[in-house]
Chains A and B, each alone.
Chain A
Amino acid sequence: MTKNNLYVFLYVILIAIGIPWYWPQDSRSIILGVPAWVAVAVLCSLLASFLTAYILINSLSDEE
């Protein structure tokens, strides 16, 4: 798997986990005062931000 394909794969995984399609409809769990599926969605977004930053910083060091 090339580096770019790996990045695409990771983004797809983050989207798949971040969108709460797989949660039981009657789930009532709460994390940090918000529904658990909301906390997971925010966490996935944070991980996507870190991945994006990593890709950009990595490409900067590649150039140097």
Chain B
Amino acid sequence: MSNILPLGYGAWTFISIYLLSLLVIGWFAKKSRKEDTLNDFYLAGNSLGLGILFLTLFATQYSGNTFFGFTGATYRVGYSWILSIHFMTSIVVCYLLFAPKLHRLSKKQNFLTPADYIQYRFKYNKLSLIITIIGIAVLSNYLLAQLMAMGRAMQGISGDAGGSFYYIAGVLVLATIIVIYGTMGGLRAVAWTDAIQGVILLVGFSVLLFILFDKFGPLSKATEIIANMDKINNTRKAAVPDAETCRLWLSYIIILGFGLSLYPQAIQRIYAAKSEKVLKKSLVVMAFMPIPTMIISVIAGIMALAYISGLEGAATDQVFGRVLREIQEYSILGYGVSIVILAAILAAMMSTADSALLTISSMFTKDIYAKIFKSSPDEKTLTLVGKFCSWAFLALMIIFAIILKDNTSLVKLMDRKLDLMIQVSPAFMLGIHYSWLKAKPVFWGIVCGTIVALSIPYIDLSFISKGKVFGFHAGLIGLLPNLAIALIGSYLKKETT
């Protein structure tokens, strides 16, 4: 966002009111708490209705990356980033494989964390622990990335792109707001604020589409310009993708579908739904969200590709900021719209960060602290530990976000979250349907798959490029031995017993 114009008083007032409203919602959520239990704090007493459940699923699934990353990706690769519609749809399709059954079980067994289900199903501590560790590692990376993006966003809107004061202030202020409302009202506060953030996101995206067409003209013109650029530069940004891109396309559909649907915060929302009917109805609406949301991201990238030239490498991630600047300078209405979109971007980052923080806190409290450090703590103590954990963990992440301010390479190094997350899919998606699947083979499958997935990017072979094998993600390659060990091991164990 280093390209947008500095905001005036009116815009700052709008954003301040929005941020204050989050704290007010946190206070109301605290007042609505029915009991001092982990279930009430982390799962809102399993009371999320249709509207709130849909909006919290939406706001959690579509992060700040949806604006920045995806518009930037379209600018880099062209029309083939339309594959993002497919992978976002595949997430909802993958929910079909396990979510309704998992929800039914969670109602009966009072699950709180993903490891609760694993322990109930497999009764094997090591398996539960490895799934908790993978979950916390993935979410920490997610949280850190959002905090750094918040700092950069604040840098951008203050007009102080180079300095560190607004970056640090942005990280500190926004993170503190998140942890205050999160520890006041738990999932209730997070889901309610997600609902507001979801609405801002939807409004921001919709208005953006109209402004884009109004400013840049029809899509056909942009397509023609890009096709001509392809001829001059010998690129394929409007042309049919080559074979490797098609393999990458398929790889994205599988890894994002299986990986993102198993994010711990998504699983907790499956638990928190009021009923199976509510869960299924929310998923029906979610099934249609990728098309409008991703199309707008892709159109923004295509318009930028056609009309804003000269961005290369890492600067392409700033292309959304450039589009916003064009809109700001276009008209007074454009300026107003850009403020709503800025609030939507902050909303997208905050809603992703608050969900990740709350889930990390629940996993640490229930799956690690309660099991290792204390034998049988009461629910009130555990809830208190969870709140303390949220503050402590966020403080640690803030320190990392400040230290790593100019060093994004470490974040990229850790950015193997989907490769990691997909390794737990046999435990959930097969384990929930097939009783013959055994704990130890599933555990060793995850260990082996994780080692393979994390090693591939460092192997120097001609068919491995950018951490992908023939265009397929390392996580998918790791899933092959993972599945083989889980299935063959379970079959052999069945034969011997």
**Which residues of A are in contact with B by a Cβ distance under 8 Å?**
11, 15, 18-21, 23-28, 30, 32-35, 37-38, 41-42, 44-46, 48-49, 52-53, 55-57, 59-60, 63
B287 touches A56 (CB 8 A): yes
Which residues from B are CB-within-8-Å of A46?
291
Determine if B291 and A60 form an interchain contact, defined as CB atoms under 8 angstroms apart. Answer: no
Which residues does chain A contribute within 8 Å of B238, judged by CB atoms? 35
Q: Is the CB of B86 within 8 A of A18?
A: yes
**Distance, CA A41 to CA B221, complexed state (A):** 20
* Cβ of B264 under 8 Å from chain A: no
How distant is the Cα of A41 from the Cα of B246 in the complex, in angstroms? Answer: 12
A-facing mask of B229-241, CB < 8 A → 1, else 0?
Answer: 0000000001111
The B264-282 residues at the A interface (CB cut-off 8 A) are: 276-277, 280-281
Is there a chain A Cβ closer than 8 Å to B295's Cβ? yes
How many residues belonging to B are interface residues under a CB distance threshold of 8 Å? 37
Distance A21 CA – B242 CA, assembled complex (angstroms): 8
Q: List 17 A-B contacts (CB under 8 A).
A: A20-B246, A21-B246, A23-B240, A25-B242, A28-B227, A30-B220, A33-B218, A33-B220, A33-B221, A35-B223, A41-B85, A42-B82, A42-B295, A48-B89, A48-B93, A52-B89, A53-B287
Contact of A63 among B79, B276, B281, B288 (CB under 8 A): B276
Q: Which 6 A-B pairs have the closest CB atoms?
A: A33-B220, A33-B219, A52-B287, A21-B246, A23-B240, A45-B85
Chain B residues with Cβ below 8 Å from A37 are 240-241
For A60, list chain B residues within 8 Å (CB): 277, 280-281
Residues of A within 8 A of B92 (CB): 49, 52
* Nearest opposing residue in chain B for A47, CB measure: B89
B277's nearest neighbour on chain A, judged by CB, is A60
Also in contact, A56 and B96, with CB within 8 A (given A15-B86, A24-B240)? yes
Known: A20-B241, A25-B239, A45-B291. 11 other contacts (CB 8 A): A18-B86, A19-B83, A19-B250, A33-B223, A41-B86, A49-B92, A49-B291, A52-B284, A53-B288, A56-B280, A59-B100
Cβ contacts under 8 Å, B243 to chain A? 21
CB distance from A24 to the nearest CB of B (A): 7
Measured between alpha carbons, how far is A24 from B242 in the docked complex, in Å? Answer: 10
| CB <8 Å contact, A49 and B96 | no
Residue B144 at the chain A interface, CB threshold 8 Å: no
Q: Are A41 and B82 in contact (CB under 8 A)?
A: yes
B227 touches A42 (CB 8 A): no
Minimal Cβ-Cβ distance residue in A for B294:
A45
Question: Who on chain A is nearest to B238 by CB?
Answer: A35
Confirm or deny: B386 has a beta carbon within 8 angstroms of a beta carbon on chain A. no
**Minimum CB–CB distance for B375 against chain A, Å:** 41
The residue from A20, A42, A49, A56 contacting B240, defined by CB atoms under 8 A apart: A20
Q: Are B240 and A35 in contact (CB under 8 A)?
A: yes
What's the nearest-Cβ distance from chain A to residue B260, in Å? 15
